[in-house]
Amino acid sequence: MCGICGIVSLSNQIIEQSFIKKMCHQIYHRGPDAEGYYVKENVALGMRRLRIIDLNTGDQPIFNEDKSICIVFNGEIYNFKELKKDLIQKGHKFYTLSDTEVILHLYEEYSEKCLDKLRGMFTFAIWDKREKKLFLARDRLGIKPLYYTILPKHFLFASELKSILIFPDIKKELDFTAVSDFFTFLYVPAPRTIFKNIYKLLPGHYLTVKENGKMEIRKYWDLNFEEKSLGNENDYIEKFLELFEEAVKLRLISDVPLGAFLSGGTDSSLVVAMMSKLSNKPVETFSIGYEGRDKYFDERQYSRIVAKKFNTHHHEFILKPNNIDELVEKIITHFDEPFADASAIPNYILSKQTRKYVIVALSGLGGDELCAGYERYLGCLLAEKYRRLPSFLTKKIIPALINHLPDSSQGNHFNERLKRFVKSANYPFLQKYFQIVATFNEEEKKQLFTPEVQKLIERPSDEIFYDYCPSTNHPHLNNMSLIDFKTYLVDDLLTLTDRMSMAHALEARVPFLDHKLVEFFATIPAHLKLKGLTKKYFLKKAAERLLPKEVIYRKKMGFSVPLVIWFRNELKDYINDILSEKNIKRVGYFNHSFILKTLNIHQNRKANYDEKLWALVNFIKWYDKYLK
C-alpha cells in the first residue's frame, strides 16, 4: 500500500524534483517505509511506500526493460502471480517480485485493456514516454482514492487532496454545490470535491492526458444488477461460499503480519471464520467498544463469542469522549474536505491500536450493500405498503403520534427512524429513499444556508440519485443497492476506511468487495436478500454454516458512536462553543437562528439531531483549518 502523486507540465516546462518531493511529503503517513521519484523534463511522478509484498526489491517507480514506461502504484493485485506467468511466456522480463511490475508489463502487452485482467484494489499512474501520455486508473469499486486537477499549464494527481493543494496555482475556491451535497450526505459525492476544479476519478474509470493537454476519461467496468437463476437457495449458498473463500484466501497474501477487524456482526465474523479456516495459526482480531452509560453502543459481547469460537488472539479497546477536539483536528487533516460520518472516530482509534500488532487488517465492509443489510432498505419497501392505508391515518393521525415521541435517553435511533419513515412514506420511490438518507433535506437547507449561498448551488442533491438509478423496471431493492454502491459505499465507507487506516500506515483489505464476488451478488434475486422482515436473508443462511446463530440473528448496531449522548453531556459546552453566533457569523454561510433551534431541539431531547450537529461542527472545524 502506498500513496502516489504526480505532475505534468502542459507547456513543456521543466518540473523541479523539489516540488514532487513536497507533494510526496504530504502523504508520508501512507508509506513511511520508502519513497521514489521519476523526474524527466516536464513530467514528475512520486510515491511513498508501505512495504507489504516483495519487501526487498519492490520499491518504486518501476520501469520496463528499455525504461520507456514508468509506473507508480497504490494498492494490491491479488492475482499478480498467475498474470506474471502468462507475461513471462510472452517474453517479458522481470527484475522484481512485485505486483507493481506486473501491471507495467500488462500495459505493454494490452494497453488500457490491462485493467480487465486485474483483480484487486488499486490506483496507478503510468507515464508512456513513447506516446507522451499519462495513464491513470482506479479500481472497479473505488477502494483506493485518486484526485486530479487540470490547470491551464499543468495536470496534477494524488492519492489525497493535500498533495494537490500545495501547488501555487491552486485556488481554494469552494464548490457550493459540493457544500450542499455534504450537508445532505455527510460527505462530498464524486466526482466533485469541496474545491472547484479538483475532482475524484470515479471507480471503474481511467484517465489519459497527453502533453498537449488533451484529457479523456473512460469507463472500463460497471456493476449491473441482472438476476439469474442458479437453482434453489442452497445452490446460491454453495456458490457464495466458494467465491468468498477464494476472495479471503487471495487477501491473505502478504509478507508482513495481518489480522482482522471484528465487530461481532455477521460480515466481519464471516471474514474471521474464513481466515481461521485458511490459516495455520490463530488470527489476530481487533474490536472497539464502550463502557458505562455508553454501553448501549457496545458490541464486544458478540465479538468475544466469535473470537472464542475460532480461538483468535483477540484485542479490545475502549473509546471515551476524551480529547475530542484534538481527535477531530487529526481526522479532518486526513480527509482534507468536510466529512461527518461519526464512525471515523472509532475507526481512527481502532486502526491506531491495530497497527501496533499487524500491518494488514481484513474488514467485513461491503456486505450490507451487497445483501440488503440496512434498515432503510426495509423501511423503503414497507413504506409502499404503508401508502395503501387510508390517508387520514398516514397523513394525520400516525404522523401526529409519531412526531410527539421523545428521543431515547440511551441513544437508541428507533424513534428518529420512525419519524423519518412517516415523513417520507408518501413520496415516490426515489424521492422517498432520498428523504430517508438525507441529513439535511432540501427544505432544511433553505433554512440552513444564507440567501447568498443558495444562489451559488447549481442543483438539488437528490439529482445524484436519479443519475445513478438506471431503470424503474428493476426491483426497488436493487436500485437502492446500486445507488449506495455508487455513492455511500465509495465516498463514505471506503473513503473513511482508507483515510483512517492509512493515517497509521495500516493496510485495510475488503474481501466482500472482490469484483467477482460483487458481480455474483448482483445476480442473486432480490427476494433472497430481503425476505419478509429479515435483512440479509441469504447471507445469514450461508453464515449458519460457519457462525453461532446468536451472532447472526442479533440486533444490528453498525459502527455507531454515542454522539447523541455526548452532545447532551460531556460535549455540550464544546458543541455550543463551536456553533456560537460569533463562529457562525464569522464563516458567513449559515443562518444562526436555524442552527440554534436545531441545537436546542437536540439538547432538550425533542429529537435526535446528532448527525446534523456533527456535520456543522466538522464543516466549521474544516473551514478554520483550510480556508480561514
Q: Please tell me the predicted confidence (pLDDT) of residue 227.
A: 84
Rounded to whole angstroms, what are the CA distances from 253 to 246, 262, 279, 376, 430?
A: 12, 20, 11, 36, 41
131 shares its domain with 271: no
55 shares its domain with 82: yes
Residue 537: other Cβ atoms inside 10 A: 18
25 shares its domain with 128: yes
Q: Please tell me the predicted confidence (pLDDT) of residue 99.
A: 93
Q: What does R_g of the chain's alpha carbons equal in angstroms?
A: 24
Q: Please tell me the predicted confidence (pLDDT) of residue 473.
A: 61
Q: Please tell me the predicted confidence (pLDDT) of residue 560.
A: 73
179 shares its domain with 60: yes
243 shares its domain with 206: no
Sequence-ordered list of residues with C-beta below 8 angstroms from that of 626, at least 6 positions apart, any chain: 165, 172, 336
**Any domain includes 89:** yes
203 shares its domain with 247: no
Domain edge (last residue) among 506, 521, 552: 552
208 shares its domain with 237: no
Give the span between the Cα atoms of 8 and 156, in whole angstroms: 7
Q: Please tell me the predicted confidence (pLDDT) of residue 211.
A: 83
Number of domains comprising the chain: 2
139 shares its domain with 23: yes
Phi-psi region of 173 (alpha: psi -120 to 50; beta: other; left: phi over 0): beta
- CATH code (residue 194): 3.60.20.10
Q: Which of 125, 118, 126 is nearest to 81 (CA)?
A: 118
Domain edge (last residue) among 518, 537, 552: 552
Binding-site residues from annotation: 99, 288, 363-364
Q: Please tell me the predicted confidence (pLDDT) of residue 8.
A: 96
Q: Please tell me the predicted confidence (pLDDT) of residue 607.
A: 87
**Any domain includes 491:** yes
Which residues of the chain fall short of a pLDDT of 50?
Answer: none
108 shares its domain with 257: no
Binding-site residues from annotation for ATP: 288, 363-364
Q: Please tell me the predicted confidence (pLDDT) of residue 24.
A: 97
Q: Which of 344, 51, 3 is nearest to 160 (CA)?
A: 3
Binding-site residues from annotation for L-glutamine: 99
The domain of 297 spans 233-372+481-552
Find out whether 329 and 621 touch, Cβ atoms under 8 Å: yes
Sequence-ordered list of residues with C-beta below 8 angstroms from that of 473, at least 6 positions apart, any chain: none
Active site includes 2?
A: yes
**Any domain includes 604:** no
**Any domain includes 309:** yes
Q: Which of 36, 93, 24 is nearest to 60 (CA)?
A: 36
Sequence-ordered list of residues with C-beta below 8 angstroms from that of 492, at least 6 positions apart, any chain: 185, 186, 187, 341
77 shares its domain with 210: yes
Domain edge (last residue) among 528, 552, 576: 552
Give the span between the Cα atoms of 339 and 182, in whole angstroms: 8
**Any domain includes 164:** yes
**Any domain includes 501:** yes
Residue 40: other Cβ atoms inside 10 A: 13
For residue 356, the number of C-alpha atoms closer than 13 Å in the C-beta half-sphere is: 8
- CATH code (residue 524): 3.40.50.620
Residue ranges with strand state E in 163-283: 199-200, 205-210, 215-219, 258-261
